[in-house]
Amino acid sequence: MPKLLFLITISFLSFFTRTQENISITYTGNMGVYISGPQSSVLIDGLHTQYGDDYLFPTEELVHKITSQLRPNAILFTHYHGDHYSKKLSESYLNSNKKSVLFGANQITKKIEASNNQVYSIQTEDYTKQKFELGSIEITGIKINHAGKRHVTVENVGYIVNINNTKILHVGDTNWLEEIDLFDQLKLSKEEIDIAILPYWMLIQENASELIKKYINPKQVIATHISPRIKNNELSELKRRYPKTHFFTQLEQQIQL
């Protein structure tokens, strides 16, 4: 009897462990991530081409895998810069996957050649959160200003993807931008974010830990946009400062939630 009880307990724990690992986040280069749940999946900033030596981009093999095997229900883009977005690859993907859709700011969507029911625009006039239901996924788009004074006209969009009751935030190319009180206006700390995907430079600021806690308050952080040429000592120092943060540096690097 005790032996039978032990086997039942082990089986239950194994099943419970499997059911908890039902969301995965896979790195596709630069800030690209493929988020997969039990029934649906999305790709954020995951279709782009070679942009420079400081950027990691998906290989032809990975693009083919995304298009023909992974086949995310939605492809989301934060902005039109070539290290995040490729018009050619995006249109090719939509043509190959007629049931999939694309989300992006007007600077992207106005130039996409695809069926009207495949394209959704995120407005960037203000910081209003815009929610969309896509089967079992809820996608929220919101304007989040692009970092850098020379990019003030770039329409950068952040996303909150709610998949299997897990909220994943992706902010694109932003920074804390305290001079415009950006994160005060975004009010992301009220969203109960589980995973925050941030460009690594947001972690460099001296009080970054306090800012992350105050303005986002996620359970976990993933750092992306890390140059392949980053010095080992710089990356090691970041990992030392943030021991619980996941640093994406290799294509198809994956974490299970």
Question: What 3-state class would DSSP assign to 125?
Answer: coil
Identify the CATH homologous superfamily for domain 23-256. Ribonuclease Z/Hydroxyacylglutathione hydrolase-like (3.60.15.10)
Residues 48-78 pLDDT 10s:
999 999 999 999 999 999 999 999 999 999 9
Q: What DSSP line would sit under 179-206, residue for residue?
A: GGTHHHHH-GGGG--SEEEEEGGGGTST
Sign of CA dihedral 227, 228, 231, 233: positive
Q: What is the mean pLDDT of residues 175-201?
A: 97
pLDDT tops 80 at residue 256 = yes
Pairwise CA distance, residues 85 & 45, whole Å:
6
pLDDT at 22: 87
Cβ burial of 53 (10 Å; 0-12, 13-18, 19+) is: exposed
Extents of the domains making up the chain: 23-256
Question: Tokens 């993933």 identify what position?
Answer: 222
Residues 82-113 pLDDT 10s:
999 999 999 999 999 999 999 999 999 999 99
**Comparing C-alpha atoms, which of 126, 214, 225 is closest to residue 172?**
225
The alpha carbon of 127 is separated from its chain's Cα centroid by a whole number of angstroms, namely 19
Pairwise CA distance, residues 100 & 118, whole Å:
7
Please give the share of the chain, as a percent, with pLDDT higher than 90.
89
Phi first, then psi: give them for residue 175, nearest 5 degrees: -145, -175
pLDDT tops 60 at residue 5 = no
Q: What is the mean pLDDT of residues 30-55?
A: 96
